[in-house]
Structure 1
């Protein structure tokens, strides 16, 4: 216990210290929200990766889907790396940075308002972000508190309150730069910790081959004739597996807290380096989390009625097999992942609500200092609301996250991608995507016509279809405005001769 407490106190000290150190870099709203658009490649890449993965993945998703799909759940982590990280950086990184700089946009609502020439979009997007990021934040607290309860024997209520206070302190003090620098530190911890956890878990079962042999003996209750289903390539439910891959991978392309990282990119080098680093980071952390969770059936048995406490699978695996030193490392790992995710959620929601809702509607003359103060107050309010939802009993981590990701990506994925790449997208199509994204996910919350994961993945695909379909039959934006907007991509810049050959030079 002493070792775990020492590690925890050291982590808290470093985290708060970074927040205090970065306070001097938050003189303006741009500094607080974007880090001055001057964030280097390593910091940007780790900020992206650590915002992506949290206790929701390591505890909730890895536990539930590792149980459901066995070793094939590792495909989810691979999808997160290839689609959610690699392709996201390649497809969105450069264009997002260029167009948001062209519009001088610091937030997603501001981007939508300027790209589609509609001030009502600014208000609507800011409300959607604030409302639907809260359940995601709540799911992070819920996953984090379960692991803390296992490690320290403290009631999960106090765990959540403690984490909430710590998050609020360093984000409210240091803003985006504090969150980003902490992400770099926390991401390093996550990489080291993940390798240690997987090795220890497999070692407790006699090694990889012995663990896989035992997994192959477990019968699928739905189809007992399918031998070795939990060690098969696509597992017992390929369609369900694909839905999770889509939700957790393609969904990042439309999440405000994720694409916000591209707003802050410093240079071309930052894009190239960030692409490689974030992809490798996702392979280790996400792939490792789902691979680890896949062995949950070797450590946890279903209840007599067949039910399983999915949120307790990973804490049980960790608590029953690791020495105190490694339990402390695991706690710091999950805490690192969760704190970085929470900080990005808090900044994304509070900044958009201040800049794109309160200021244009109620405080048109709000100066820079008042804006920063408002953002800091809303950071605290957002954290409070998240904890209140997380304290509600019988709320699965995966259900909360699926609702949040499904609604946000269902609303924003199509409008954001087509807004960057296609001159023909219209403002009416954006509203249609919002209606479908919220409609599918919220109606499923009450009617339960499918799982939250399938509803979320389905709403994302609908978003990508509805924008071009509606755009073809609705009034277009002014041609001159559209041409001027997309001209930002064609702006000529100087490049070193070693990077670009002079075609006029004699051969």
Structure 2
């Protein structure tokens, strides 16, 4: 047993060393705030696509989705399908316009800065308000990742939970602090490939071990035939329209996620975006299909070999890996979970630090801050924000998926409608944008704690609807943008 643990230790350590080396290499290529926050807009299609996917999915892809498929069966396809459609739509309708517009809008480096520059908001109220919501939602989002990392180290190595969370936090902060966006993107490329490989290998081995695909579905039908239906719950009752919409609506959140949108702005050319879109959609399809099959095959394995007893369905990936693979291979596959967690937490820390440095420090504290000073403030912010997230993560009873769901809805409702309208509607003005951001965020905060009836609908749906209505009404009720703002929009359309 000790040799097995040593092999897993060695694999984890080798993985972390590779990540830190990448961060140090990226540090040598980071000279300006544009380098630190957007990698100098130099991402090719592969790192752009896989970085967007890896930073998006986080530990949810290896823990949450397999756990949901384990418990709910084919019902999980509503969620996976919604996310896949959202991934495609985001790359198809937002990526190229955002990259072009962010350059035209005074080379905006962050989402709040883009909105402010897009509408010539000299008061910077729109930028600071947007940055505030970025910080609020990301603190909880990042904290959920640190909780997941802590539970991984606790489960695999038997560390005390507090020690495990600190170790995971130090790993993430180290390469984010030094390398900035390039370190995050390049490590995400490695992590995304590792995640996809793990999710394809594990279910194939499990299904083969238990007699093949046909035998798996036969076994699931014997356990509970409702697990193989799309329109019924596990109790045999028909899924309500609210339940189906709530699951599929996760895909709507993509349009407002700052850490994903940053990859669009960082692409080196518009020509690369079509290639990146195909890579991103293909990766997401393979990874989510693998995650669903991990849950389904794991259900059969647990019932066949473990007497049907599994305390937490979200541990099914770790259970299968530990039971079926050599310790060295198991260490690599378990490192995929760490990769998923780190690839999201690092992106969240970087976007949060950019909001604090570019959108708050530079706009309120020191408008004449130099490039070097902004990068330094960004690095200090990474450490400071990680400490706050760490403090929140010290509670091992934190509801990880609940926090992720809340933050995803918050970003999707606050920024999704404002961004999409800003890219497509020439008449939109700063008053409409501000109204959309505030109404979208407020709706999520107010809707979330209320239950029963229509309030069981995932809060991102009413958030996006009300934010869109606010944008249109406030824009039409206030003065149209000046001629230069209108001309800027036309230049962007010509440059696509």
- Indicate whether 1:412 and 2:415 are aligned: yes
- Indicate whether 1:370 and 2:373 are aligned: yes
Q: Report if aligned partners of 1:402, 1:456 keep a CA contact under 8 Å in 2.
A: no
Question: CA 1:244–1:137 in structure 2 vs 1: closer, same or farther (change >3 Å)?
Answer: farther
Of 284, 287, 293, the residue aligned with 1:282 is 284
Q: Report if aligned partners of 2:46, 2:279 keep a CA contact under 8 Å in 1.
A: yes
Report the CA distance between 1:299 and its aligned residue.
5.9
Of 204, 219, 230, the residue aligned with 1:214 is 219
The corresponding residue for 1:253 is 255
- Alignment map for 1:429-468 (pairs within 5 Å): 429-448=432-451, 454-468=458-472
SS in 2 for 1:25: coil
Distance 1:136 1:92 in 2: 23
Of 309, 330, 334, the residue aligned with 2:333 is 330
Instruction: Report the more deviating stretch, 394-403 or 166-175.
Output: 394-403
The corresponding residue for 1:266 is 268
- Indicate whether 1:193 and 2:198 are aligned: yes
Structure 1, residues 432-451: CA drift from partner, whole Å, max 9, x if none? 32333222322244444578
SS in 2 for 1:163: helix
The corresponding residue for 2:50 is 46
**Aligned length in residues:** 477
The corresponding residue for 2:236 is none
Question: CA 1:229–1:451 in structure 2 vs 1: closer, same or farther (change >3 Å)?
Answer: farther
The corresponding residue for 2:229 is 232
Of 8, 13, 23, the residue aligned with 1:9 is 13
Question: CA 1:299–1:243 in structure 2 vs 1: closer, same or farther (change >3 Å)?
Answer: farther
Report the CA distance between 1:361 and its aligned residue.
1.1
- Indicate whether 1:37 and 2:41 are aligned: yes
Of 162, 166, 169, the residue aligned with 1:161 is 166
Q: Report if aligned partners of 1:42, 1:277 keep a CA contact under 8 Å in 2.
A: yes
Distance 2:375 2:112 in 1: 18
Question: CA 1:406–1:39 in structure 2 vs 1: closer, same or farther (change >3 Å)?
Answer: same
- Indicate whether 1:174 and 2:176 are aligned: no
Question: CA 1:152–1:93 in structure 2 vs 1: closer, same or farther (change >3 Å)?
Answer: same
Structure 1, residues 21-41: CA drift from partner, whole Å, max 9, x if none? 111111111111111112111
Q: Report if aligned partners of 2:254, 2:412 keep a CA contact under 8 Å in 1.
A: yes
Distance 1:363 1:448 in 2: 45
The corresponding residue for 1:134 is 139
Structure 1, residues 357-392: CA drift from partner, whole Å, max 9, x if none? 122111222211111111011111222222222222
Distance 2:437 2:311 in 1: 35
Question: CA 1:311–1:139 in structure 2 vs 1: closer, same or farther (change >3 Å)?
Answer: farther
Moved over 6 A (4+): 450-453
Q: Report if aligned partners of 2:357, 2:377 keep a CA contact under 8 Å in 1.
A: yes
Question: CA 1:286–1:307 in structure 2 vs 1: closer, same or farther (change >3 Å)?
Answer: closer
Distance 2:256 2:427 in 1: 19
Instruction: Report the more deviating stretch, 413-422 or 236-245.
Output: 236-245
Question: CA 1:320–1:397 in structure 2 vs 1: closer, same or farther (change >3 Å)?
Answer: farther
**What is the root-mean-square deviation in Å for CA atoms of aligned residues?**
2.5
Question: CA 1:185–1:312 in structure 2 vs 1: closer, same or farther (change >3 Å)?
Answer: closer
The corresponding residue for 1:101 is 103
Question: CA 1:492–1:128 in structure 2 vs 1: closer, same or farther (change >3 Å)?
Answer: closer
Distance 1:313 1:465 in 2: 42
Question: CA 1:139–1:205 in structure 2 vs 1: closer, same or farther (change >3 Å)?
Answer: farther
Structure 1, residues 385-406: CA drift from partner, whole Å, max 9, x if none? 2222222243222100011011
- Indicate whether 1:471 and 2:468 are aligned: no
Of 127, 130, 151, the residue aligned with 1:125 is 130
Structure 1, residues 221-241: CA drift from partner, whole Å, max 9, x if none? xxxxxxx21111344236424
Q: Report if aligned partners of 1:151, 1:319 keep a CA contact under 8 Å in 2.
A: no
The corresponding residue for 1:89 is 91
Distance 2:296 2:255 in 1: 26
Instruction: Report the more deviating stretch, 434-443 or 270-279.
Output: 434-443
TM-score (norm 1): 0.87
Structure 1, residues 42-79: CA drift from partner, whole Å, max 9, x if none? 1111111111111023212431x324531231343333
Report the CA distance between 1:257 and its aligned residue.
0.8
Structure 1, residues 201-222: CA drift from partner, whole Å, max 9, x if none? 3245433222222222344xxx
Distance 1:62 1:427 in 2: 42
SS in 2 for 1:454: coil
The corresponding residue for 2:207 is 202
Q: Give structure 2 stretches of 5+ with no counterpart.
A: 234-238, 304-308
Report the CA distance between 1:320 and its aligned residue.
4.3
Report the CA distance between 1:194 and its aligned residue.
1.3
Report the CA distance between 1:318 and its aligned residue.
4.1
Q: Report if aligned partners of 2:63, 2:317 keep a CA contact under 8 Å in 1.
A: yes
The corresponding residue for 2:28 is 24
The corresponding residue for 2:60 is 56
Distance 1:204 1:155 in 2: 34
TM-score (norm 2): 0.89
